[in-house]
Chains A and B, each alone.
Chain A
Amino acid sequence: MATKEFYFAIIGHCDQPIFEMDFPVGEKKTKESEGTRHLNHYIGHAALDIVDEHALTTSQMYLKMVDKFNEWYVSAFVTASRIRFIMLHTHRADEGIKQFFQEMYETYIKHAMNPFYEIDDVIESPAFEQKATLYGRKYLS
């Protein structure tokens, strides 16, 4: 796979995705990737078992690469409130992913402090999306 691809998801306490984004943003999906678009969702969901296992054994929030399936690596970050960030990537970019997770964690905290936002609700804020896009462009390219 020539281009670097990333799929970022924030997973709630009931394993439900509360925010998802593909990087690079806005790139037109090929017909093939449309056909297999569910695959990275499956990989992300399946990796939660490993993420939970790792989270129990370490006090670190950033769990590095936890799983792999075919060409997709899975890196994870678990917040203090046990919200899980997962990143599927086709190329190793540990430092960039770590920075991205840190920035997104701060953004998520700010979003979660909004009194109108309830934990585990789907994040539909355009500002949050903009931030994710910005950090994605900054750290994942």
Chain B
Amino acid sequence: MSSVSPSPLIALISSECSQKHAHNRGFKSLSHFIFPFTSHECQVREPIDNLKASQRIRLDIRDISSDGHLLTLSVLPYVLIQALKTCTDVSQSIKLFRDVLARCSEPSEHESFGHYLACIFVVSTEDENPLGEFSKMIQTQQTLYNTTSTLMIPGHCSTPKWAAPHAKTPRHYILLHDSRSPRSSTERRDELLAQMCATYGNDNCQMLQLDSDSESAEMKGVWDEIDEFNDVLEKGLEEAHQHSTDAIAPGPNGASNQQSPSSPTSSVATISSTMPAVGSVSPNSHPNSTVVWKSSKKLASLADAKAVQAILSKFLDVCLIPYVEKEMRFLYETAGQKKGIGKSFTSMKRWFGSGTALSNMATPITYAWDSSEMQTRRLADLLLMFGFPNSAFEQYRGLKRDLEADKAMAAHAVALEMCCVALHSAQPQLNANQFMIKYLETPVSLLIEHAKFRRYPSILRCAFNIADIYSDLGLHKEAALNLAKVSSIEGDHLVAVAQTLAAEQFEKAGMGRKASFHRVLAANRFSNAAIPALSFDCYRLALPAFDKKHWGVLDEHLAVRLLEEGQKAGVMTTDIASECIRRLVAVCPKLSPSLQTERLRTIVNALDIYFPHRNEPVEMLTDIPKVEMETVKAIYGERPLWNEIDENEHQSVSSDGWITVERAAHHALFGASAPYRGMQLVSDEHSDNQKIRETPAGERFRVMVDLTNPLKIPIHLQNLRLSVSDIHNQSGIEGSEKSIPELGALEHLQLDPEETKTIELYVFPRVGCLKFRVDGLLFQLAVDQKDVEARVPLKCRGKRLNKTAKQQKSKIYTNDERLSATVAQKPWPLVEFRVIKSPHQWSYCDQAQRYQLEIENIGHENVMSMCLATNAFDRVAAGSIDENEHHQQFKMNLAANNAKVATFRFEEGSTSSTDSFLKIGEKKRIFFDVRSSDEPTGSTVAPKQSNTVILIAYRSSNGTMRQWRRVIDGERRRLIALTAEILDLDTKSFSIHLKNCVAVSQAALSRVEILRIRTDRNEASTGIKNDCSTTVLPSVNRRVEIESEQTDTIVARLVPLSQGETIKESWLTTTTSVTPPKWPCPAEIHSTMDDEFASKIAEKIGILWKANIVNNEGLVTSFIGESFIDDPFVKLKTLKKDDSVLSSLRISCETTAKEISHNFSASHICELPITLLIQNKDLQRRPVSVSIKLSSKVREPVDGIHLVAPENRHQMWIDRPVRKQTIGIDDEAKLEMKWKITHAAVYDVGGANLSIEAIFEGSNDAVIFKVPSVLSVVKSSSYTVV
């Protein structure tokens, strides 16, 4: 319906019978009936060139009495809003809106569009006196020239305007003959037509005959466009009526109900800017006609349509076109030729606006109808309406200049608008460079400035026309900016439409982000205008522009608005709802607590409304609560319990270390040839999870996981359980209840703000179930008595691969099968291990850490055998304890797979291999003793020793097994220091120097008593073997006790054992009741990695001691231990054999502290004092001259720091680079030096940084000695510790 060029407006006045014919045929009015047939080709003479041109003209015929004229400004908004409410698609709605605006809005006072050019009178052959009706209608038309007349005009319509005075307005007379009418006859028809022709002239009279009496298939859909318009109009009017009655109704005493409900239009006041209020009711209005035309069939045939077309064609040819040609000629001659020169100042009248709201607004200027400006305007409008845009453009161009000169800015803006429209219609081929862009820039702004409170239809029409031209020229951004100017006018629905169109233009300009913003603005305006469907649609269209951009606030705003508007309009889809919920869930943790409460409620409500009958729980609550996937632990079977699992196990022992010990235990239980298949009871992120592990049937498969509440408010979860899939069953029990694993549920869980809790849930597979997989966590999130079922997928990711180039460049992870399990059909043995006695977490070096366990068979299988495997093969003893507290030691065996792993079989002494070690329900007690390492924690002298692993494995008669394991790791301190010195080689006398290393300040009492001395040699040692066995005898049998910082010396001698003698130990006390552990002495195993100068002595002298410590808090502890030193005679022999001088100097390096804190911002240089002790123990007893030199790691100049290995980049220097000293035989030199460093790091203060050059007396060759490495950690801190 809408077009850039307005259509000529024709009035239609009909008799009552004529209207009845239209109603009977299913139409609202006659104009409704003839609407589709109003376009016609005709020849029009152009007034300037005086040439005829063929034009296609569409007439806009309005039935004044029925449809009425253009709508008043008070009613128009309701109809426009109704147009927007018609459908939920914003583009469709806006198209209809523009149609309604173009068809219903009043014209501006500065133009002649919307003025009736001619009048058609219609009477029916049914009328009693058709010619009399004509007379009445002519009189009625005449009264309509009076602006105060309210005759015939529906109350919601403005008074019609006429292009010419009554006498000059062309009239046309039509006799309607409906052959369906019972009273119609052809004779009367012809007679009446003849009378009409005689009265009004042959050319001015026509007869329209309608013959059809049924609905025609050919005419289907012809009236759809006008039907839709009429529908919108009626609904809008109804709403306007409703609104006006609502406004009146709340009167205090009911006095307002004076209006009759049967006259709905009467209460709609006309508030027109130019027209006075019209309060009358149309006498011809048909309140019930709406029902008729909407529901009834349209009885019209193709022949009828052709008849109408013929009538209108003749009307155009003989009536309208000649009149228009004449009028255009007249106007051109009087006004058009002057081109602004002869502008009549006398005819110009100015009316100053009396009711302007703003005092600074430009005073509007209007022109009289017969002024030269209006004559030019009328000419231009006629030229445009009748297909001469080029000529119209010339007229508009001249006119707009004159108007601008007159400062009639509103009139100028309207003329400028039509100037652009005419130019664009005349020359659509012009591009952006050729078009007069400057014409497009100002009209909208001028109209907004000068006419905004009065004429929003003009502003909107202007903005739409200008934007269309911009768009056709490819200037979409300018089109959008032009439309965006409209946002300053009042009326949310109007601004919303303009913003939506602006968004479309931005979209076409490739500015998606601007487009989305304007869509949001439009949506907000639609929401304010109570059009939620379009608001929802605009928000929906804006949504993708913010996808995955993490604009949290915007995501939240969009999601909330969409949910609100969607609910109001009832147009929400599940896809959009789930997207909104997803975004809200993602953004929720970033909000304030009060907003979080609100949003959580919104989320739960939305889930409840839009996903009420879901079969599957929703997977949108991915982060509320957050499942910490890296904490997922799967426990296969009933043991270990959750509190028995060592979280830091992976830090103490590598997975290979565990496998070595497990394999040793496996071979000990099943024999060396039995294939090892692995035995994993707990899978976590540090274990090997690529294989699917076994879990026993009839026992729980437990999953532990941490849940974190990311919100600042507490959340309540109910009925937490695991989701299980991929269940495989044995054939035969498929689908039965037995095949479905039972699930353990947690009834209620409250997570406080930002709290993390570990939960344990389980699956209980029964016999018959072969395989299953846990794939999710199910729970109900409860908010305000409302809860929603939700599901969080549990999918663990394996370790990242980084071996190949492809793996290094991209992120590839291994499969993680920790949540899948195959179900072992045979039962596993189950033993409960209760630790009865265990030592402290920290210990002294060489201390005996004694464990006692009670074991009980709590399963349904007899335990056939049990073994203990450990990697501390030279430091562990194990055995059982009987009822009489008698300790029975088990024999240690080195494992078949690894010589550094020891195993102990527990069932030693059993008579038969079929005897059970532990029957069902039976209890036993076992023990194991572990000797602490001989080096304190943090020592850098000894190579790093792996932690002690104790693994107890047991098996049932059917070959299934299970394990219990523990890592023994703790801090160690030195208690005593031992050195041996040879006194006499012949008698093999030697002394053992003992020193209690516990400082007086560290303990109230620290007494160490020496209990026993023995010689020993570990079978596993690969060092130099001593062929003859010896025993040690102290020279004096006395009680040896040393307290804090005290020293003592035991003199003893080694005595060879006589034939058959096996006792290799000597007790220094007879009163002790201590049972010494039967562990082996430390084994010395050579490897290629060992220091080439270090000598390994397999023969050891063991000193068993007992310590009583009372610490400063008064806590008394008593324990035993055994320290070992090398056999000094064997050592001497080895050194001689080596024939080396490298053992001549004993060098040690000490630092004050392992960890130093230094404030580098206060002082750039940190000083690190060290003490170097060099003892001359030359076998040839020569004095030695030593020089200690700083040997820089980087000795040559380098081009860049990147060429230096990272460990050599530390800057450190010493106070004196070279120190020299002469040391006599058995003397010790103590050299104190200071390292200076500039950065916090880990430094080796000895090692390769220092070298000792020694020249022994009588020799000219310098021998280089190494300084042992001592690591010192320097930390940057705000304070300095000296």
A contacts, CB < 8 Å to B = 14-17, 37-38, 41-43, 45-50, 122
Contacts and interface: CB of A to CB of B under 8 A. Distances in A.
Contacts of A48: 513
15 contacts: A16-B548, A16-B549, A16-B551, A17-B549, A37-B553, A42-B517, A42-B554, A45-B513, A45-B516, A45-B545, A46-B513, A48-B513, A49-B514, A50-B514, A122-B550
B551 A41 contact: yes
B312 interface: no
Lowest 5 A-B CB distances belong to which pairs?
Answer: A46-B517, A49-B511, A38-B557, A16-B549, A49-B514
A45 B551 contact: yes
B520 A42 contact: yes
Given A43-B517, A45-B516, A48-B513, 20 more contacts: A14-B548, A15-B513, A15-B549, A17-B549, A17-B550, A37-B553, A38-B557, A41-B551, A41-B554, A42-B517, A42-B520, A42-B554, A45-B517, A45-B549, A46-B513, A46-B518, A49-B512, A49-B513, A50-B511, A50-B514
B553 A41 contact: yes
Interface in B125-144: none
A43 B551 CA distance: 12
Nearest to A9: B551
A122 B551 CA distance: 11
Contacts of A43: 517
Interface string B543-580: 00110111101101100000000000000000000000
Contacts of A41: 551, 553-554
A122 B556 CA distance: 18
A16 B554 contact: no
A83 to B, nearest CB: 15
Given A46-B517, A49-B512, A38 B554 contact: yes
Contacts of A45: 513, 516-517, 545-546, 549, 551, 554
Interface in B511-542: 511-514, 516-518, 520
B350 to A, nearest CB: 35
B542 to A, nearest CB: 9
A14 B556 CA distance: 19
Contacts of A42: 517, 520, 554
Interface in B919-935: none
Nearest to A42: B517
Given A46-B513, A46-B517, A49-B513, A16 B553 contact: no
Nearest to B561: A38
A24 B571 CA distance: 42
A78 B556 CA distance: 28
Interface string B479-499: 000000000000000000000
Interface string B373-386: 00000000000000
A46 B516 contact: yes
A138 to B, nearest CB: 24
Interface in B491-511: 506, 511
Contacts of A49: 506, 511-514
Interface string B996-1032: 0000000000000000000000000000000000000
Contacts of B517: 42-43, 45-46
B777 to A, nearest CB: 28
Contacts of B516: 45-46
A15 B545 CA distance: 10
Contacts of B556: 38
A38 B511 CA distance: 20
Contacts of B546: 45
A63 B518 CA distance: 23
A17 B551 contact: yes
A79 to B, nearest CB: 19
A25 B517 CA distance: 26
A76 to B, nearest CB: 13
Contacts of B513: 15, 45-49
B1158 to A, nearest CB: 22
B583 to A, nearest CB: 13
Contacts of A47: 513
Contacts of A15: 513, 549
A101 B573 CA distance: 44
A14 B548 CA distance: 9
A42 B518 CA distance: 10
Contacts of B554: 38, 41-42, 45
Interface in B859-917: none
A38 B512 contact: no
Nearest to A67: B514
B339 to A, nearest CB: 41
